[in-house]
Amino acid sequence: MDYAQQDMAPCASSSRPFDGRVAIVTGAASGIGRATVELLRHRGAKIVAVSLGEDVMSLAAPDVVPLVADVAQEASAAVAVDVALSHFGRLDILVNNAGIIINKTVSDMSLDDWNRVMAVNATGAFLFSREAMRPMTTAGTGAIVNVGSYACFQAFPTIAAYAASKGALAQLTRALALEAIPHGIRVNAVGSGDAVTNITNHIHQDGPRFLAEHGQKAPIGRAAQPAEIAEVIAFLASDQASYIVGSVLMADGGMSITVS
Ligand SMILES: NC(=O)c1ccc[n+]([C@@H]2O[C@H](COP(=O)([O-])OP(=O)(O)OC[C@H]3O[C@@H](n4cnc5c(N)ncnc54)[C@H](O)[C@@H]3O)[C@@H](O)[C@H]2O)c1
């Protein structure tokens, strides 16, 4: 038996590797989610773009169906999967990207704050993954990409809820990867560093500027642009990542490898 040739994914590269494929992207209206919608679409995917605010409606196009929904609500995932199947006939990719941060010390944090961060960042990914797995399991193929953070592994004061939620997301990634891979579904995560987005706009007058400055602490000396993280998401969702299962792939400019 030629073991070198077993089960090898096709290595053909194409500028539209997602032609014929359908993705759900959560948190699609802004930042990393929006960049991911643009990139996957550019590479051929049809997309259900899920986000909390009406601003997601601006993404409407023949190949993008926007959906206003809260990922933390149990019904949202079933609606999103139904939209994918009814509009586009299949579901190949789920990107669990929706996320929020509330910067407070544990002493100052209310139970509502804690529960909301966990509900959006961790429970939302569980709910959407559970629902997306149904058609993916029937098809015997699929890719789920969770958007994590260096906070999957590291912490600093005031991010207890966020770090706990991203730690939970990393462990969800690993445990679900083991359950999903026998069905041909790969589950992975990207560990994003500071990216210039709107996620801290409720805390800072100029949130993107704050993140750009905070990112200068990374060994690379700058924050990421959302498109740089979208590239990693697209890679993990693609056949090029055919042997990557249960990884949290760090794209953080070296933030997670330094002790300084
Ligand atoms: N920006 C960073 O520095 C950074 C670093 C590490 C990880 N991340 C992660 O990247 C992901 C995307 O964040 P971003 O920085 O692009 O933020 P962003 O605020 O620019 O975009 C987040 C999007 O998610 C949507 N959203 C929020 N709560 C939602 C909910 N309950 N249901 C549906 N949609 C919801 C928002 O409306 C928004 O469109 C998050 O999971 C975040 O934790 C960001």
pLDDT digits (tens, 9 = 90+) for 225-235: 999 999 999 99
Q: Which domain holds residue 117?
A: 16-251
Decide if 5 is inside a domain.
no
Decide if 215 is inside a domain.
yes
Q: What is the pLDDT of residue 14?
A: 81
Q: What is the pLDDT of residue 259?
A: 86
The Cα–Cα gap between 97 and 233 comes to: 10
Decide if 216 is inside a domain.
yes
> Does 76 contact ligand 1 (Cβ within 6 A)?
no
Residue 66: which CATH number? Answer: 3.40.50.720
Percent of the chain at pLDDT > 70 equals: 95
Decide if 139 is inside a domain.
yes
Decide if 3 is inside a domain.
no
> Does 232 contact ligand 1 (Cβ within 6 A)?
no
Decide if 96 is inside a domain.
yes
Residue 242 tokens read as 């055919």
Please say if the pLDDT value at position 8 is more than 60.
no
Q: In 209-225, which positions are buried (b, 16+ CB within 10 angstroms) versus exposed (e)?
A: ebbbeebebbeeeebbe
Q: What is the pLDDT of residue 193?
A: 98
Task: Output the residue whose Cα is nearest ligand 1's atom 41.
Answer: 99
Q: Give the total residue count for the chain.
A: 260
When mean pLDDT is compared across 4-8, 34-38, 134-138, 232-236, the lowest value belongs to 4-8
pTM of the model: 0.96
Please say if the pLDDT value at position 3 is more than 60.
no
Residue located via tokens 């697209």 = 234
Give, in order, the Cα–Cα distances in Å from 151 to each of 35, 147, 167: 21, 11, 7
Residues 6+ apart with CB under 8 A from 25: 33, 36, 37, 40, 47, 48, 49, 50, 95, 97
Chain-centre distance for alpha carbon 136? 17
The ligand 1 atom at the shortest distance from the C-alpha of residue 215 is 3
> Does 29 contact ligand 1 (Cβ within 6 A)?
yes
Q: Comparing 114 with 6, which gets the higher pLDDT?
A: 114
Q: Rounded to the nearest 10 degrees, what angle do helices 160-180 and 124-139 cross at? A: 10
Q: Is 3 one of the catalytic residues?
A: no
Binning pLDDT at 50, 70 and 90, where does residue 1 land? very low
Give distance in angstroms: CA of 28 to centre of ligand 1: 8
Query: Which pLDDT tens digit goes with each residue over 87-141?
Result: 999 999 999 999 999 999 999 999 999 999 999 999 999 999 999 999 999 999 9
Decide if 206 is inside a domain.
yes
Query: Which pLDDT tens digit goes with each residue over 50-86?
Result: 999 999 999 999 999 999 999 999 999 999 999 999 9
What's the domain count of the chain? 1
Decide if 152 is inside a domain.
yes
